Structure 1
Amino acid sequence: MDQETIKYLLLLVVSFNYVFEKIINYLNVNKKTEAIPSTLQGYLDADKLKEAKAYQKAGYQFGLITGTLTFVITLLLIGFGLFGWLDEWLRQYIQNPILLTLCYFGIVFIGSDIFSIPFDYYQTFKIENDFGFNTSSVKTFFMDKLKGYLLSIIIGGGLLATLLWLILELGQDFWWIFWIVASLFMLLANLFYTGLILPLFNKLTPLEDGELKEAITSYSNSVGFSLKNVFVMDGSKRSSKANAFFSGFGKRKKVVLFDTLIAQHTQEELVAVLAHEIGHYKKGHIKSGLVAGVIQTGLILYILSLFVFSEPLSLALGGSQMAVHLNIIGFSMLFTPISMIIGIGMNYLSRKNEFEADNFAKTTYSGPPLATALKTLSVKTLSDIHPHPLYVFINYSHPPLLKRLEKLE
């Protein structure tokens, strides 16, 4: 393809992605509110259902504004060749190709993030605050930003520099070497994220001795699951929403319970939630998810290798010569439809895994307390109990609440 054709293709893909996403969101937010199902009687009333719909609409309207603004800016950047203009400007001062690309992405990343700060701030301190979820302080908000920048520079910059070096040294064959590097990084991240990265943002405290810990230990022993690392995370530092998650393998496996989860649920419900998380491990979901991520990364890198030295793609973005960083940006845009299809497949598998983990908790512990915990979580977080089926198919990594309750009850 010549550069003009590629330029129009980029504009078409970006436009399609925007329109498709907004249509799906519109269908979901405007889906008729149905009657409160009998299974949620006593948990959800008309006022709470109205509040949940208001929360959904507030998020939709805010997303429509920010998404449209981002869409328009992206069109302008492509249409006026501003991606290429930044490349030409940097080349006046930087000759080293690796340093050039690192600086280029540094400017793009930090610039876009600084641009988004007012919107992130509004969402946190206006929307989330209005609906009673935000517990973060302004200091915490900006400290999170600074820590995020630092990690991006150290980890993201290191990985990007490695990728660029391999591209310059190996040409199109870079992809399988960097695939190995990326796969090792994904494995290490799974093993050490909770121990090394998460404590930079949240405080992790070992679960204190007592009835809850005894109940958790008793259950984990009953299913042959050695569990020594159970931590409580100060999730209330930022939000009143509750959660729990599992990470790691072998001796490094950890279960993390938000302090908000412990505050909002009974001991029996907490053990049921833990049983669900252990179910993911016992059913091999952690490993299969890692394998799927590795395969997906390999596919992306291989396709990238077909574009990374394309001069027409660089020229389509306004460059005057072939530039690896311009081609990476162009590729990320062109790959969007494929990424969406992959995402749909990954979400389907994730929903299937959630059902399996629910069933594991039901058969090895008890279904009713898990169902109760899900009802409480859903109502307290103002979740949409009647989402549009198409929206679920495309975006949901977890099954809708009523589908999960149907199988549990």
Structure 2
Amino acid sequence: MYQTNSEGQIILLVILAIVTAEFVLERVLSFLNRKNMSNPLPEKLTGIYEEDKYRKSQEYSAVKSKFGLFSSTVTFLFTIAMLAFGGYGWLDGLVSEWTQNTMLQAIFFFGVLALISDIIGIPFELYNTFVIEEKFGFNKMKPATFIADKVKGWVIGAIVGGGLLSAFIWFYQSYPSMFWLYGWGIIMAVMLLITMFYTNLLLPLFNKITPLEEGELRAAIEAYAATVNFPLKKIMVMDGSKRSTKANAFFSGLGSNKNIVLYDTLIEKLDTDEIVAVLAHEVGHYKKKHTLQSIVITAINMFVTLYVLSLVIDLEALSVALGAGEAKFHLGLLAFSLLYSPLSLVTGLLMNLFSRKNEYEADAYATKTSSGLALIGALKKLTVDSLSNLTPHPAFVFFHYSHPPLLQRMNAMEKEMETI
């Protein structure tokens, strides 16, 4: 381990402990989840899978878990090495030789880190997509699509990420005492813009989006939207089959600018009543103002995080802990993100808890306004189609699931149907 001053050494040891503890926690959770797959299925879930298909789902979950162990271990060892041997300080020295402009130093620093991280991750992405997903019949992506997605992702990341970072640093240099507040404002503005225009601007860069043709499905969706007074603007179909056989649907936009996006794979796998029930669930999120609530919670969380950052960003010990000889904004920002991760974990747990509550509420809304039986049928089909784990460990659910497991959702909807 490289030498640093006492304060920097303490901070470095704390960061190493945090990174290690998070890695161990994740490995324990994955072990419990994998072990729980051997438990007998609850009676209500028997028959959802055919026997061969259920064995395949367990094999898929086991393979994904082992692959996750290997890939996360590589990432963990890389991070530990960078911390223990002053890799971040070395990179800071390298970009400092390229330019004396502090804003460009930060952009180059995080840009190189992102590029290295992505390069390390590419073999794992390739193996996951073209070996694991291919083996289990999910992958439809061609190598050319993979390369195109990667290049587009780099360009968008450079534009959006680089732009936000530049603005944040400019505020820091121009308004040292209030930079965090201005930074919070621009981050929230960009987040809202992406939410509003994702379907119209970003999604078409990766997928073909076409209007849903006239027919039974479109008529059923429009009729349902009219009965619940939902401000439906467009019903679009996305070529999800370009990449995977897995199905999905989502709403985008804010206020009266609401668009439905259906994966073509969803239309293939579900009947009309089931698709309407799935969309009724999404309408439930809108009617219950879940999206607005999530934006407000995210805004508050970001506000507090950036305020705390403003209190410590100038501490030289943060940069020294990562191998620098003096305070650097980008090193302080990185050190802060590592030190803050336990609190981020807590807020993530609370957000997952909030999200699972919202899913139950949206299910209940769909049950009342559409068909609980159709939604249950849709969830069963989608579960089988994606080879989902029917018996996740409760601890794994608590830490990672934004949606309740299938059995809990079925029980809640059946209970709701008894009251109708």
Matched, 1:11 2:24: no
For residue 142 of structure 1, what is the aligned residue in structure 2? 147
Distance 2:206 2:45 in 1: 35
> For residue 123 of structure 2, what is the aligned residue in structure 1?
118
Selected match of 2:195 from 180, 190, 193? 190
Distance in 1, matches of 2:34 and 2:177, equals 45
The one of 162, 170, 175 equivalent to 1:170 is: 175
Separation of aligned partners in 2, 1:336 and 1:404 = 31
Q: State how far apart, in whole Å, the 1-side matches of 2:30 and 2:123 are.
A: 23
Judge conservation of contact 2:237–2:263 (CA < 8 Å) in 1: yes
Matched, 1:88 2:87: no
- Give the aligned partner of residue 380 of structure 1: 385
The aligned residue for residue 208 of structure 2 is 203
Correspondence for 1:367 among 372, 377, 386: 372
Taking a change above 3 Å as real, the CA distance of residues 214 and 74 of structure 1, as seen in their structure-2 partners, is same
Q: Distance in 2 between matches of 1:57 and 1:33?
A: 11
Query: Offset of 1:120 from its aligned partner?
Result: 0.5
1:247 paired residue number:
252
Corresponding residue number in structure 2 for 1:291: 296
SS of 1:2's partner is helix
Question: What whole-Å deviation, never above 9, does each CA across 1:12-34 have from its counterpart, x for those lacking one?
Answer: 11111111111111111111433
The corresponding residue for 2:218 is 213
Identify which of 285, 302, 308 aligns with 1:303.
308
Rounded to whole Å, the distance in 2 between the matches of 1:220 and 1:250 is 15
| Structure-1 residue corresponding to 2:102 | 97
The CA distance in 2 between the partners of 1:198 and 1:32, in whole Å, is 36
> Following TM superposition, by how much is the alpha carbon of 1:307 offset from its aligned partner in structure 2, in angstroms?
2.5
Q: 1:252, CA displacement in angstroms?
A: 1.9
SS, match of residue 335 in structure 1: helix
Measured after TM superposition, the shift of residue 289 of structure 1 is 1.1
Q: CA shift at 1:42, angstroms?
A: 4.1
1:60 corresponds in structure 2 to 65
Cα deviation, residue 50, structure 1 = 1.4
Which position in structure 1 is the counterpart of 2:418? none
1:234-273 superposed Cα distances (whole Å, 9 cap, x missing partner): 0000000000111112332111110000000001101111
Distance 1:335 1:209 in 2: 51
Give distance in 1, aligned partners of 2:377 and 2:37: 25
Q: CA deviation at 1:354?
A: 0.5
Q: Residue 286 of structure 2: which of 276, 281, 288 is its match?
A: 281
- 2: CA distance, partners of 1:365 / 1:73: 50
Structure 2 residue corresponding to 1:390, chosen from 370, 390, 395 = 395
Structure 1 counterpart of 2:353: 348
Structure-1 residue corresponding to 2:261? 256
**Whole-Å separation in 2 of the counterparts to 1:331 and 1:122:** 33
Q: Distance in 2 between matches of 1:328 and 1:379?
A: 43
1:266 to 2:264 alignment: no
Equivalent of 1:27, from 12, 24, 32?
32
Contact 1:280 1:353 in 2 (8 A): yes
Instruction: Report the Cα distance in structure 2 between the residues aligned to 1:254 and 1:32, rounded to whole angstroms.
Output: 38
Aligned residue identity for 1:371: I
Equivalent residue, structure 1, for 2:3: none
* CA 1:73–1:54: 2 relative to 1, 3 Å: same
Give the Cα separation in 1 of the matches to 2:138 and 2:111. 32
Give identity over the alignment, percent.
Answer: 45
Question: What SS is found at the alignment partner of 2:262?
Answer: strand
CA displacement, residues 96-118 of structure 1 (integer Å, 9 cap, x when unaligned): 11011111111111111011111
- What SS does the corresponding residue of 1:143 show, helix, strand or coil? helix
Q: Structure 2: which amino acid aligns with 1:225? A: F
Residue 306 (structure 1) shift? 2.1
The Cα offsets for residues 320-360 of structure 1, whole Å up to 9 and x where unpaired, read as 11111111111111111111110000000100000111000
Inter-partner Cα distance in structure 1 for 2:198 and 2:302: 19
TM-score, with normalisation over the residues of structure 2?
Answer: 0.95
User: Of residues 46, 51, 57 in structure 1, which corresponds to 2:51?
Assistant: 46
Report the CA distance shift for 1:341/1:150 in structure 2 as closer, same or farther (over 3 A).
Answer: same
Cα distance in 1 for residues equivalent to 2:88 and 2:39 = 47
Decide whether the 8 Å contact of 2:232 with 2:257 is kept in 1: no
User: Cα deviations across residues 362-386 of structure 1 (Å, max 9, x unaligned)?
Assistant: 0011110000000000011011111
Count the aligned residue pairs: 409
1:41, distance to aligned residue in structure 2 (A): 4.4
RMSD: 1.2
**C-alpha displacement at 1:38, in angstroms?**
4.2
Work out whether residues 37 and 392 of structure 2, in 8 Å CA contact, stay in contact via their aligned partners in 1: no
Q: Distance in 1 between matches of 2:32 and 2:251?
A: 33
Q: Secondary structure at the match of 1:230?
A: strand
TM-score normalised to structure 1 length = 0.98
Whether the 8 Å CA contact 1:348–1:397 is kept in 2: the answer is yes
**What residue number does 1:231 align with?**
236
Q: Does 1:317 align with 2:322?
A: yes
Q: Secondary structure at the match of 1:319?
A: coil
Please tell me the residue identity of whatever aligns with 1:302.
Y
Q: Is 244-253 or 389-398 further displaced after alignment?
A: 244-253
Q: Which runs of 5+ in 1 are unaligned?
A: none
Does the aligned pair in 1 maintain the 2:45–2:407 contact within 8 Å?
no
2:193 and 2:408 map into 1 onto residues whose CA distance is: 35
Q: Which amino acid aligns with 2:25?
A: F
Q: Secondary structure, in 3 states, of the residue corresponding to 2:233?
A: coil
